[in-house]
Amino acid sequence: MAFRRLKVAHIITRLELGGAQQNTLYCCANHDPKKYEVILITGPGGYLDDEALRNAGRYKTIFLPELKHPIRPWWDLLALLKITSVLRTEQVKLVHTHSSKAGILGRLAARRAGVAKVIHTVHGWGFYPGQFFVTSWVYKTLERWAAGFTHNLITVSSANQVEGLAAGIGRQEQYRVIHSGIEAEALRLSLAAAAKARKKLGRDDRPRVLVLSNLKKQKSPLDVVATAVKLVEKIPLVLFVWAGDGPQRQKVEKAIAKNKLEKNFMFLGWREDVAELLAACDVLFLPSLHEGLPRVVLQAMAAEKPVVATSVNGTPEAVRDGMTGFLREPHDAEGMAEGLFKVLVDRDLARKMGLAGRRALKGTFLIKEMLRQIEKLYGENSINP
């Protein structure tokens, strides 16, 4: 009798360039082909759409135009009906959802389609401190409701699990903490390759701060400018290298011009050559307001670079304040500038922190371990393929 593979559907709102999307694509491409037949359901228009299509031999990608980021009741209803139809037609046995929007619609569709097992990964909750209270209430209410027909809730950090339980979402036994992972070896370049990457970005030897994030409110891009104002007072030639783009780009550029910092910023747009960018810079800076477990922090640690970031959600589970970098409260521009100053002027400290960061990655933050734990969870409570 031939062994039948378990049909798994990963559902995510859109394949933007981000940690949640990259880790989802990694899972789709690297699930054990002897055990799993994989389908990816997503909305079109993401930066990583082409990557999904290039992996057509490993999994099937279904783009649904009805699945959109903004809340649009009519489109959301259509997306729910389409996802339900796909799950029934494909006879999916396990649904694994990612992100808030796809997490709600995908889990409801799985329930309507009679899917045997439903798992949701929380890559950071849709609610957060400082959010408009009505919006926060809506997100929490929807998550509590969806948890009622979810078998397991994966959080990428212990902090996210604590937050979910405090908000009344699910039960303790539903949760599993599975840290986001990276391919650490790919982030560490040879000395020659690192020197080449630094020259490619610019031949001068100015101190360089890498900002590797989109320009959305969550990442607090205006705090990058506020921090730059403070740091330039101490290191006039410092250069902030910004890889990413987003809706707050114009506001950021206006703030830079207002403070006459044009010579202190370099905008690169969306980039995927993370190893080269990290090699070309001296420190990673991430002033987010909320996170799950930021992938860029792990990437910087793998590249032996110190990290200056905000102490939000899962970030402190990776970055150890004073050991692998510096953590400050959100909006603390002066404190973040001081952290950047310390690692930029003290190369021995920066090197020590970088080495400590790489050692801290072993085991739990590696992407193969992440996938192993996910597949172990899939195997709990056997499902008939």
> Domain locations in the chain?
6-181+366-379, 184-360
Cβ burial, residue 352 (10 Å; 0-12/13-18/19+): middle
User: Do residues 270 and 17 lie in contact, with contact meaning Cβ atoms separated by under 8 Å?
Assistant: yes
CA distance 92 to 110: 9
Q: Which CATH architecture has domain 6-181+366-379?
A: 3-Layer(aba) Sandwich (3.40)
CA distance 94 to 376: 13
Exposure string over 239-257, b if 16+ CB within 10 A, otherwise e: bbbbbbbbebbeebeebbe
User: Do residues 83 and 77 lie in contact, with contact meaning Cβ atoms separated by under 8 Å?
Assistant: no
Handedness of CA 247, 251, 257, 263 (dihedral sign): negative
The number of residues in the chain equals 385
**CATH number 3.90.470.20 given to 184-360:** no
| Intrachain domains 6-181+366-379 and 184-360 with the same fold | yes
- Show pLDDT as tens, one digit a residue, over the chain (385 residues): 346 899 999 999 999 988 899 999 999 999 999 999 999 999 999 999 999 999 999 999 999 999 998 888 999 999 999 999 999 999 999 999 998 999 999 999 999 999 999 999 999 998 888 888 999 999 999 999 999 999 999 999 999 999 999 999 999 999 999 999 998 888 888 888 888 988 988 878 899 999 999 999 999 999 999 999 999 999 999 999 999 999 999 999 999 999 999 999 999 999 989 999 999 999 999 999 999 899 999 999 999 999 999 999 999 999 999 999 999 999 999 999 999 999 999 999 999 999 999 999 887 899 999 999 999 999 986 566 6
Record the tokens describing residue 267, joined without a space.
């905008």
Residues in a beta bridge with 158: none
